[in-house]
Amino acid sequence: MNTDHGAQTPLEKPRHRVWLTIPDVLAELGIDRGSFDHWRRRGVGPQMKRLPNRTWRIRGDWFDDWVANLPDDTYRGDTLGEVA
């Protein structure tokens, strides 16, 4: 869907141009923030970028690649399958 001015809406942007917030990712995965932070501390979370305003974002294609490479025994609570 284009606006009257021809600009793309966020849903029409190419996935590499979409920047997800942590709440977006939590909602997508159906997990709580503690589980997500635990994964990040263990180094098994998705790639992230810190913006100048000190907030974190995850590029859409980075998130998609990370989800595609999860073990078959996908995320359960804060264990993330068998990932060490």
What is the Cα–Cα distance from 32 to 14, expressed in whole angstroms?
A: 27
pLDDT for 83: 45
Residue 56 half-sphere exposure, CB side, CA atoms within 13 Å? 12
pLDDT for 23: 95
Tokens representing 21 are 């917030």
Q: Give the model confidence (pLDDT) of 10-39 as tens digits.
A: 556 777 788 999 999 999 999 999 999 999
Q: Give the model confidence (pLDDT) of 32-74 as tens digits.
A: 999 999 998 999 899 999 999 999 999 999 999 999 988 766 5
β-bridge mates for residue 56, sequence order: 50
Helices of type H across 1-84? 22-29, 33-42, 60-68
